[in-house]
Structure 1
Amino acid sequence: MEERAAVSALDVLMERNCSLIQEIEQDLVRLTLALDHTDAEPDTMSFFSYPEQEDMESGDRVMDLLNTTDPSSVTLDEAKAEQILSLTNNMHLLICSQTPIIKKLTKSYSSEVCLDPETAHPKLIISSQGDSATYTDTWQQLPDLPGRFDTTLNVISMHGFTFGRHYWEIDVTGKTYWELGVTYPTIPRKGTTEDCWLGRGAESWCVEFFDGEYTAWHGGVPHQLPFTKCFCRIGVLCSFPAGMVTFLEAEKMTPLFCFCVGTFSDCLHLALCPGHDHNGNNAKPIVICNLSSPTCDLC
């Protein structure tokens, strides 16, 4: 709390400094112009008096600011700083020590899924096991079923889930563009409407990786994520009791983003988009890593 208060006070002082520097720069410009037009020695103190303020306000402000920002007047409680640093390190060690436990608990919610080829865009190749999707530049001659995506490169799981907790891990190794998340079965499948994209409508939630940047999407609202590393496995945890969809980096269980939905109004399907070729650098498939799972309720 002391640190935040000190930082806040410094921010105010920095703003005052910047404002004062701008005023001084303007004064220097006027002084230079005055020197160019007269050989007489300028009256510096009178120069710093603005036409509308014939007093020493600027000089007083300078002195006041210098006195306030004098380093010798700033004191730090080193003992408390050491305590805070020690507490922070201990908390970090505690969190790291809990990672195996968190991973074991999270994976206990693993639910097996397989992708539904009848929902896949014609430029997606779905494996025979239904556990991977690969982009192809060739438009496959497939039946134009009502549930098939015809514009966005999406595919969703064959079965949905109605309650409980469910966890999936998706391997995105070597990919430069992908989207993954969960969706209601009512997500639009046809046409160029943005709602067909994962996370762009109210029916789906997703995390997108594109050009080295991660973005979480829902309802067309983007949330830029502060990560730059190309993660290999992404975890998706869906909790009906908590009404949340959480995205994780699966190796260290690092949270990427959590959507607090509250109450889901329909069953949820896992949804994937392996992305287009992205300048020839995105040919690898997106793969569901099915783990041993408990019995789960499907819809």
Structure 2
Amino acid sequence: MAAASCLLSEDQFMCPICLDVFTDPVTTSCGHNFCKNCINEHWNVNVLWQCPMCKEVFTTKPELHINTFISGLVAEFRENAQWKANSSNSEDAKPGEVPCDVCIGTRLRALKSCLMCLTSYCETHLEPHLTASGLKRHQLIDPVENLEGRMCTKHDKPLELFCKIDQTCVCMHCTVLDHKTHEVVPLEEGYEVKKAELGKTDVEIQQMIQKRQKQIQEVKHSLSFSNENTERKIAKGVQVFTTLMSTVEGEMNKLIETIDEKNRTIEKQAEDLIKELEQEISTLKKRSTELEQLSCSEDHLHFLQSFPYVKPAPLIKDWKKININPLSYEGTVLRAVSQLEETFVKEISKLVEAELKRVQQYAVDVTLDPDTAHPELILSNDEKQVHHCAVKKNLPDNSERFSNSVSVLGKQSFSSGRFYYEVKVTRKTQWTLGVVTESINRKENIPPSPQDGYWAICLRNRNKYKAFADPDVYLSLKWKPLNVGVFVDYEEGLVSFYDVEAPALIYSFTGCSFTEKLYLYFSPCPNDGGKNSAPLIILPVNHNT
């Protein structure tokens, strides 16, 4: 019988009404089989005693008895199916998996945990929760450990409610004791609220992720642009240096050729002199030989007769002053180097002009701040000009105002990025320009330096230019600047000063470390009895310069 039941499928043990394996199977007089409860409920609803399968109507309600044969087959089928399920699906609990709390000996892997029983079950021990009507109402979840943690430690009751005030899970006893006046809701409702909050948080996180992904793309785009710009700068630099090296090499070859040519002239002159001297030596040797032969003759008559015919010494040049002076090449080299210098100056001027056009793109509109101006300074109505007068105005001595140094700051501050401005310094014998930090000492007349928050250059005594670099750097300028441009790159730590008209780079502070707000700094210096009365004027930047 067991062997036969193994050949039967689940469909052959299925009740036609509940479509599940028979429970207490009974057989009607027409030969069809049903679960006892299923057929009785069917007849209670439909009143008529009719077979649901063949539609045969019975005149009286049939007396139903358990079909013991089918019951035996069903029991054997259930046992066989359970054995197959256990053999195929049940596994020993591995490390990290939740084991069955009911298994004795080898504990199988739990399939579900019951929140009512606070127990985890393997597939075999879970069966009652799937079939018994009383246990079907229990809430099953995926297996979890520490089910005791779902019990109230104070009242040993299930945590079934959520306190909105304390944001914690509580049991029924907690609501009438510790949380009596608090608003509590079922766990499901608290779960839905928190899940909604979690969803909102997730949306915010996704937005933050998208924003950062966009920022990554922007950074990548900026990096790509920077790389392209770097390649262009390198190509331009290589081109400039190639031109300069080619010029140097060409001038060097011309210099060598000029010197060689002059040396060849000297060599030709020396060769001609040597040849002429050798010819004279040959003539003199011949005459010496003749004289020696006559001198050796003992024939007195012959000697006396021949003596009148002896030729006098040949007329030759006076070689006392002969001298081959090597040419002086210093002048030739100097002229060649001077020509190179002119070429270099032209190339540098081109580079500075291009750089000046680039930094002028960062021009900012700035005005002077009257609250920082020394009492002896006069500002124009548009706050674009400042000059010094000998009369000290009665002004409030606020913390921002310069008390000893005749200086004034710009209103605008900068704590990032790049900015550029230009100042007219025409007809002045003294001035100081640059940028300063917010925390500089405005009450004492201290020498400016980067250590004290000043990055500035100055003119003194009409033609002496200096950078306050600690130690100071004295500047040699070919032309007296009329308009001075100031460029600052906050992140790069760069402050550069330009002669706008030349154009030329006056001086650059590099490697600066800016950690505060920067302000523009202006000092027209004392008017020196009217000799330095011209104002410093903030100019509108001409981008086409």
Per the TM superposition, whether the score is higher than 0.5 is: yes
Moved more, 205-214 or 95-104: 95-104
The one-letter code of the counterpart of 1:160 is S
Q: What is the aligned partner in structure 1 of residue 348 from structure 2?
A: 95
* Cα deviation digits, residues 236-279 of structure 1 (max 9, x gap): 11112321111111112311111113321112111000010124
Could you say if the C-alpha distance between residues 89 and 177 of structure 1 is closer, same or farther in structure 2, counting changes exceeding 3 Å? closer
Give the C-alpha shift of residue 97 in structure 1.
3.7
Q: For 1:158, give the aligned amino acid.
A: K
Question: Under a length normalisation based on structure 1, what TM-score does the superposition of the two structures give?
Answer: 0.65
Which of 444, 464, 474 is the aligned partner of 1:213?
464
Q: 1:82 to 1:286 in 2, by over 3 A?
A: closer
Question: Which residue does the alignment assign to 2:360?
Answer: 107
Unaligned runs of 5+ in 1: 2-70, 294-299
Task: Give the direction of change, closer, same or farther, for the CA distance of 1:250–1:82 in structure 2 (3 Å limit).
Answer: closer
Kept after mapping to 1: 8 A contact 2:486/2:496:
yes
Q: Percent identity?
A: 26
Q: In structure 1, what is the Cα distance between the partners aligned to 2:355 and 2:541?
A: 16
Amino acid at match of 1:179: T
Per the alignment, in what secondary structure is the counterpart of residue 348 of structure 2?
helix
Report what 1:232 is aligned to: 482
Count residues in correspondence: 220
Aligned to 1:278: 528
Corresponding position of 1:249: 499
1:259 aligns with 509
Q: What whole-Å deviation, never above 9, does each CA across 1:134-169 have from its counterpart, x for those lacking one?
A: 111110011111110111001011121111121111
1:178 corresponds to? 431
**Residue number in structure 2 paired with 1:15:** none
Answer whether contact 1:245 1:261 (CA < 8 A) is retained.
no
Question: What is residue 189 of structure 1 aligned with on the other side?
Answer: 442
On the 8 A contact 1:181/1:198 being kept in 2, the answer is no
Residues 189, 86 of structure 1: alpha-carbon distance in 2 compared, 3 angstrom cutoff: closer
Q: Give the drift of 1:125.
A: 1.0
Determine if contact 1:113/1:290 at 8 Å carries over to the other structure: no
Q: Which has the higher strand share?
A: 1
Name the residue aligned to 2:383: 130
Question: Which amino acid is the alignment partner of residue 517 of structure 2?
Answer: C
Other-structure match for 2:539: 289
Q: TM-score under structure 2 normalisation?
A: 0.37
8 Å contact 2:378–2:388 — kept in the other structure? yes
Higher relative helix content: 2
Taking the aligned partners of 2:432 and 2:493, their CA distance within structure 1 comes to: 21
- Structure 2 runs not aligned, ≥5 long: 1-247, 249-324
Q: Does the Cα contact within 8 Å between 2:485 and 2:498 map onto a contact in 1?
A: yes
| 1:190 counterpart SS class | coil
1:75-90 → structure 2 map (5 Å cutoff): 90=343
Determine the structure 1 residue equivalent to 2:395: 142
- Give the Cα separation in 2 of the matches to 1:176 and 1:81: 35
Q: CA deviation at 1:127?
A: 1.6
Distance 2:527 2:468 in 1: 22
Cross-structure match for 2:372: 119
CA distance in 2, matches of 1:152, 1:240: 26
Deviation at 1:128, TM superposition (A): 2.0
Shift of 1:91: 4.1
Bigger RCO of structures 1 and 2 (CA < 8 A, at least 6 apart): 1
**1:52 equivalent in structure 2:** none
